Amino acid sequence: MNQLSSSFRELLNLLFTNITRISIPTILGQLVKVLCVCFVIWFSLSHYREPVNELARTSLTLLTFSGTIICMYYSFSKIFSEDLLRGAWAALCGLAVLVAIKSFVGNTIDELIRHPEILAAMSAVCVASFIIQRVCANISKGFETSKEVAYGIPATRIVKHPTRQDRVVTAAHEAGHALICAALNPYPINIQVEAKYFRDETNSLGSVSMEWEHLLVDKTFAEWDMLRFLAGSVGERSFTGRESLGAAGDTFQWRTIATAYLSCMSRGIFFQNPENRLELEHNEQMLMDLYSEQIALLETFFEINAHVHRNLTENLLEKRLMTGRELYVYFDEVQFPESFPRCTMP
């Protein structure tokens, strides 16, 4: 009951208190989606025809029962995970799919029973279409444009539905990554920051993504890029006072760039292929020195930009997805420590 009350208050807060902070295109886009789903429900119901065959009618009754149970399960699972809006949306979409399938089956099943060869032909077409779709999807992955993505999975244990605390940590984490992009000149046009309300195929709760045109980077850009990967965890700690285990992937990416950076003798001797324990310890010490130096720089950065980071985190928590010019307003307010790398993008 407390979770339902909390979700209801969150819904009222989103619809009324913060409505002015949600962009008009976002509101219109969501409204169009709802109207489309409602149209599917109306069209399916208005064209439904009860089948003559007794077995077909029984099958549709079972379909209605099982479909309703599935819709209720997923909608209530969202509601009890403090996500009332997504629960309502899941119920509406599930109802639309159920009604559409029931209407299609009701209008065609009598004919299919009389002519089973039609069913066989339709099944063959569906299987062939699925195979074509999977082949095209797998091939297209090889032609995607180069994209850098900083993922955050700010949770210390695996949960099916992120809680309010998970979403707050996610927003702080991704806002931390995003603010570092204020050091780019000009600002990246295609930047996108997302704090998700559910896990997807990436198994992440958030991301910051943008595309690079060049494969080779200079020394200053490498220094900035390393800071970008570390900024998520420092942003978490700055906003919440705690740090999750979601930065493991970011730390791995940082170590990859740092190894290449130090291998170019940027800070002195670094052994690309260490052959003994002394060389290994030397490399590890150089990595830790660089890591400590950049963490200290980021802590200074978030200290002088605490209000910007807080405002961006709160707005991202509400909107879930922010792009381009929505972020530039915050980038303009960012102040940089003296030694912070600034990059001019060609």
* Confidence tier at 332 by pLDDT (50, 70, 90): very high
Q: What is the pLDDT of residues 279-301, one digit of tens each?
A: 999 999 999 999 999 999 999 99
Q: What is the 3-state secondary structure (H, E, C) of 171-192?
A: HHHHHHHHHHHHHEECCCCCCE
Least confident of 107-121, 140-154, 207-221: 140-154
Integer CA distances (angstroms), 176 to 73, 127, 128, 154, 276, in order? 35, 45, 46, 13, 38
Q: Say how far apart CA 225 and CA 229 lie, in whole Å.
A: 7
Closest CA to 261 of 229, 237, 234: 229
Mean per-residue pLDDT, 21-25: 52
Please choose, from the candidates 128, 180, 207, the residue with its C-alpha nearest in 3D space to the C-alpha of residue 302: 180
> Measuring CA to CA, how many Å separate 188 from each of 11, 25, 302?
33, 21, 21
Residue 41 in contact with residue 96, Cβ under 8 Å? yes
Q: In the predicted model, is pLDDT for residue 121 greater than 90?
A: no
Average pLDDT over residues 310-334: 90
Instruction: Determine the average pLDDT of the residues in 200-227.
Output: 78
Please answer whether residues 91 and 75 qualify as being in contact, where contact means their C-beta atoms are separated by less than 8 angstroms: yes
Those residues with Cβ within 8 angstroms of residue 267's Cβ, 6 or more apart along the chain or in another chain: 286, 289, 290
Return mean pLDDT, the chain.
78
- At residue 244, the 3 state secondary structure works out as coil
Of 121-125, 153-157, 198-202, 259-263, least confident by mean pLDDT is 153-157
Read off the pTM. 0.57
* Cα 104 from Cα 221, distance rounded (Å): 56
Residues in the chain: 346
**pLDDT exceeds cutoff 90 at 331:** yes
Residue 115 has which token pair? 């002519």
| 332 or 147, higher pLDDT | 332
Residues 48-95 pLDDT 10s:
888 887 877 887 788 888 888 887 877 776 655 555 666 777 778 888
SS3 content of the chain, % helix, strand, coil (to 5): 70, 5, 25
**Interstrand relation of 343-344 and 184-185 (parallel, antiparallel or unpaired):** parallel
* Position with higher pLDDT, 154 vs 320: 320
Closest residue by Cα to residue 240 from 152, 338, 334, 149: 152
- Classify burial at 130, counting beta carbons within 10 Å of its beta carbon; exposed 0-12, middle 13-18, buried 19 or more: exposed
With 80 as the cut, is the pLDDT of residue 275 above it? Answer: yes
pLDDT tens per residue, range 170-193: 999 999 999 999 999 888 888 889
Question: What is the C-alpha separation between 212 and 148, in angstroms, rounded?
Answer: 7
Q: What are phi and psi of 15, to 5 degrees?
A: -75, -30
